């Protein structure tokens, strides 16, 4: 699958004016089902396409691009996979088969445009539904001047190419569907931000390589397709490294799997039966006489530590955190598999300096012990000698020395068999926390609770708190014990069942209810940190005002808060910090 954003010179009459000529050009094929479609509609007329695209250009200059042309180009093998049988020409298909292929390509185009939208990284552009685009499936291709057959005189320009030539053309507006956001795939500085007056920080940039990779992954996932060598787009920065690798297992992992860290690749190779050694930054994998080596800095190029939001949420939707906590690396469910990643690495450990024996004051020889001790300036016997004595300068401390020490690192990941992706469970929990997603839901994940009575209590919406659930469990004949950490053990007869308090709170939705309070605490913490950013005279004045000896009582300190805050132009977060700090100075007994 090859996805492409075409340059302006490929577009009929360019892309700074009307899309009229491009739309008319794409009408060259007239067949059953070959009509324009959008993200939500079918059978759209060419006139409407022209009117909508040309009308969505508010705040664009005369020389600005108004629209872009994209194309999605499946390989011969991918086209036959969609058709379901081997054919040499599209004309061999029955009308029903043609209809089904068109429907598949339309559905795939909508998924590819979801990836296109997400690739911009804009918070208010969440998918293809936020774009204005129109697409059309085509079944024919013709020879162009740059084709080798034309250069060799075998065929002429404009003649149809043989074989299967299914592909999709997309016309996408520069402006979003609501006309509020400019989206240009020409801005290649993906991930950068810039400041706009009145709008704050705005993300910019489009990763062409990232989109091409995501489109291929989307096709593989949507149609359960195993991409062959040469069909998968490889990022330019790693394509050279792929070419050097002759080991089929390692090459397959690097081309068709997705890792968030290089050590995950090492573990994946071990699962293939290889032994692993690393020396001077070079990984060596050996198995039954064959050996492959790759530098660590090259292996790191194949690790992509950040997954897209849509990808992460797709994994979270199928993940049961509570069941994973019970089963550990034995967790297998909904295409997800828990694995442990463990490896040894070196860490720097400071070397403790050896004690200087001369400092201890113990004599080293018998003769030294018998000699009378000489009094030094500054001793208690002669205090007058030290009145005008200059202080002896302290020697510079010796630089800290380090030694290397082996350290074992271990963490769990989820392997998503659908997308062949490894992602740390810690990253999943972090993403869920930052986006207020509950990883434990009583109705969705309650089936994993092993105790039948507790499962029934969780399924009852009337029990909304831990206290209500525990009361219901007591009514069912359970004795409840609570340990020092607040965790519960439910005992009935000879059987018992353990439940962590935080899991029970999560099942009751407590974590969601307290999300606002957590954010408030986060605001207080950020306020505490802000004082570290104050510098220069303002900082010194603030310290003097708050901690100066001129304040005789804590009450006077409180009275001077306004004066101290005014020194730094009274920002709200600093004010909050001051109030907290002053509160720690107050002595309630003295105030009484």
pLDDT, one tens digit per residue, over 8-25 is: 888 888 999 999 999 999
Contact 219, 1 (CB under 8 A): yes
Q: List all residues 6 or more positions away from 307 whose beta carbon is below 8 Å from its beta carbon.
A: 260, 421, 423, 427
The interaxial angle of helices 466-475 and 452-459, nearest 10 deg, is: 130
- CATH number of the domain within which 14 lies: 3.30.930
408 phi/psi in degrees, rounded to 5: -90, 130
How far is the C-alpha of 162 from the C-alpha of 142, rounded, in Å? 9
Is the predicted pLDDT of residue 199 greater than 70, yes or no?
Answer: no
pLDDT at residue 552 in the model? 41
- CATH number of the domain within which 275 lies: 3.30.920
Helix (H) or strand (E) holding 581: helix 572-585
Contact 188, 206 (CB under 8 A): yes
Q: Are residues 241 and 334 in the same domain?
A: no
Q: Are residues 288 and 319 in the same domain?
A: no
Please tell me which residue, 572 or 314, carries the higher pLDDT value: 314
**By three-state DSSP, how is residue 350 classified?**
strand
How far is the C-alpha of 170 from the C-alpha of 109, rounded, in Å? 9
How far is the C-alpha of 346 from the C-alpha of 279, rounded, in Å? 12
Q: How far is CA 266 from the centre of its chain?
A: 21
353-382 pLDDT, tens digit per residue, is 664 444 444 454 444 444 554 544 444 444
Q: Is residue 228 in some structural domain?
A: no
**How many domains does the chain fold into?**
5
Q: List all residues 6 or more positions away from 240 whose beta carbon is below 8 Å from its beta carbon.
A: none
pLDDT at residue 524 in the model? 47
Q: Are residues 172 and 277 in the same domain?
A: no
Q: List all residues 6 or more positions away from 357 whose beta carbon is below 8 Å from its beta carbon.
A: 364
Q: Are residues 203 and 69 in the same domain?
A: yes
Q: Is residue 40 in some structural domain?
A: yes
Contact 172, 206 (CB under 8 A): no
Q: Are residues 181 and 326 in the same domain?
A: no
- Over range 498-522, report the average pLDDT: 63
Contact 567, 545 (CB under 8 A): yes
How far is the C-alpha of 75 from the C-alpha of 348, rounded, in Å? 51
- The position carrying tokens 């463990």 is 342
CB atoms within 10 A of CB 367: 8
Which structural domain, as residue segments, surrounds residue 206?
A: 2-221
**By three-state DSSP, how is residue 192 classified?**
strand
- pTM summary value: 0.49
Contact 488, 482 (CB under 8 A): yes
Q: Which of 129, 135, 123 is nearest to 43 (CA)?
A: 135
Token output for 402? 């380090």
Q: Are residues 424 and 537 in the same domain?
A: no
Q: Are residues 424 and 313 in the same domain?
A: yes
Q: Is residue 202 in some structural domain?
A: yes
Q: Are residues 259 and 152 in the same domain?
A: no
Q: Are residues 423 and 499 in the same domain?
A: no
Confidence grade of residue 575 (pLDDT, cut at 50, 70, 90):
low
226-261 pLDDT, tens digit per residue, is 877 656 665 555 556 677 788 888 988 888 888 989
Contact 243, 31 (CB under 8 A): no
Q: Is residue 471 in some structural domain?
A: yes
How far is the C-alpha of 155 from the C-alpha of 455, rounded, in Å? 72
pLDDT at residue 182 in the model? 92
Q: Which of 195, 221, 247 is at the close of a domain? A: 221
Is the predicted pLDDT of residue 336 greater than 80, yes or no?
Answer: yes
**CA end-to-end span of the chain:** 78
pLDDT at residue 303 in the model? 86
Q: Is residue 329 in some structural domain?
A: yes
Q: Name the β-bridge partners of 336.
A: 333, 416
297-318 pLDDT, tens digit per residue, is 888 888 887 777 777 888 888 8
- Over range 39-51, report the average pLDDT: 95
- Over range 40-55, report the average pLDDT: 95
Contact 343, 263 (CB under 8 A): yes
Q: Are residues 272 and 409 in the same domain?
A: no
Q: Which of 27, 115, 8 is nearest to 66 (CA)?
A: 8
Token output for 110? 């909508």
Neighbour order of strands in the sheet with 479-482: 479-482, 488-492, 495-499
pLDDT at residue 466 in the model? 87
Q: Name the β-bridge partners of 368.
A: none
Q: Is residue 187 in some structural domain?
A: yes
Burial class of 472 by CB neighbour count within 10 A (0 to 12, 13 to 18, 19+): middle
Q: Is residue 371 in some structural domain?
A: no
How far is the C-alpha of 257 from the C-alpha of 31, rounded, in Å? 39
Q: Which of 450, 481, 513 is at the close of a domain? A: 513
Q: Which of 434, 455, 476 is at the close of a domain? A: 434
Q: Are residues 135 and 61 in the same domain?
A: yes
How far is the C-alpha of 381 from the C-alpha of 58, rounded, in Å? 90
pLDDT at residue 384 in the model? 47
Q: Are residues 455 and 534 in the same domain?
A: no
Q: Is residue 362 in some structural domain?
A: no
| Average pLDDT, rounded, for the chain | 78
């Amino acid at each position: 699958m090859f996805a492409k954003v075409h340059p302006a010179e490929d577009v009929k009459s360019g892309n700074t004016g009307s899309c009229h000529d491009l739309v008319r050009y794409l009408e060259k094929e007239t067949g059953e089902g070959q009509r324009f479609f959008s993200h939500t509609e079918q059978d759209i007329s060419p006139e409407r396409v022209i009117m909508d695209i040309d009308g969505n250009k508010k705040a664009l200059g005369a020389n600005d691009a108004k629209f872009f042309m994209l194309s999605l180009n499946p390989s011969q093998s991918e086209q036959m996979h969609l058709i379901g049988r081997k054919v040499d020409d599209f004309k061999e298909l029955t009308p029903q088969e043609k209809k089904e292929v068109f429907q598949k390509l339309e559905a795939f185009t909508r998924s590819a445009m979801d990836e296109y939208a997400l690739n911009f990284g804009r918070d208010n552009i969440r998918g293809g539904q936020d774009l204005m685009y129109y697409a059309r499936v085509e079944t024919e291709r013709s020879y162009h001047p740059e084709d080798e057959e034309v250069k060799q005189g075998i065929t002429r320009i404009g003649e149809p190419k043989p074989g299967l030539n299914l592909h999709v053309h997309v016309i996408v507006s520069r402006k979003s569907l609501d006309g509020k956001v400019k989206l240009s795939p020409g801005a290649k500085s993906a991930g950068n931000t810039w400041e706009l007056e009145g709008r704050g920080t705005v993300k910019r940039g489009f990763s062409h390589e990232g989109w091409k990779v995501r489109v291929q992954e989307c096709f593989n996932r949507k149609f359960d397709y195993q991409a062959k060598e040469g069909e998968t787009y490889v990022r330019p920065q790693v394509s050279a490294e792929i070419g050097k690798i002759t080991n089929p297992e390692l090459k397959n992992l690097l081309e068709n799997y997705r890792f968030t860290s290089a050590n995950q690749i090492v573990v994946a190779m071990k699962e293939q039966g290889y032994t692993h050694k690393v020396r001077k930054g070079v990984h060596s994998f050996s198995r039954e006489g064959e050996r492959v080596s790759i530098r660590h800095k090259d292996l790191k190029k194949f690790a992509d530590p950040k997954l897209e939001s849509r990808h992460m949420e797709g994994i979270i939707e199928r993940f049961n955190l509570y069941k994973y906590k019970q089963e550990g690396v034995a967790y297998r469910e909904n295409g997800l598999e828990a694995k442990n990643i463990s490896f040894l690495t070196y860490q720097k450990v400071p070397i403790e300096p050896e004690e200087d024996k001369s400092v201890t004051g113990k004599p080293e020889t018998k003769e030294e012990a018998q000699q009378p001790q000489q009094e030094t300036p500054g001793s208690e016997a002669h205090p007058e000698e030290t009145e005008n004595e200059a202080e002896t300068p302290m020697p510079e401390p010796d630089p800290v020395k380090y030694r290397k020490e082996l350290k074992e690192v271990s963490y769990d990941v989820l392997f998503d068999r659908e997308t062949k992706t490894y992602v740390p469970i810690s990253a999943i929990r972090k993403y869920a926390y930052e986006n207020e997603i509950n990883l434990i839901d009583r109705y969705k994940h309650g089936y994993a609770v092993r105790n039948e009575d507790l499962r029934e209590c969780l399924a009852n919406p009337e029990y909304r708190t831990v206290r209500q659930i525990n009361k219901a469990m007591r009514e069912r004949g359970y004795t409840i014990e609570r340990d020092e950490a607040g965790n519960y053990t439910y005992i009935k007869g000879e059987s018992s069942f353990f439940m962590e308090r935080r899991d029970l709170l999560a099942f009751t939705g407590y974590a969601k209810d307290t999300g606002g309070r957590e954010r408030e605490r986060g605001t207080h913490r950020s306020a505490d940190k802000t004082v570290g950013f104050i510098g220069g005279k303002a900082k010194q004045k603030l310290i003097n005002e708050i901690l100066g000896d001129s304040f005789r009582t804590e009450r006077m300190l409180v009275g001077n808060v306004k004066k101290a805050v005014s020194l730094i132009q009274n920002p709200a977060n600093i004010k909050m910090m001051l109030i907290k700090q002053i509160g720690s100075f107050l002595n309630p007994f003295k105030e009484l």
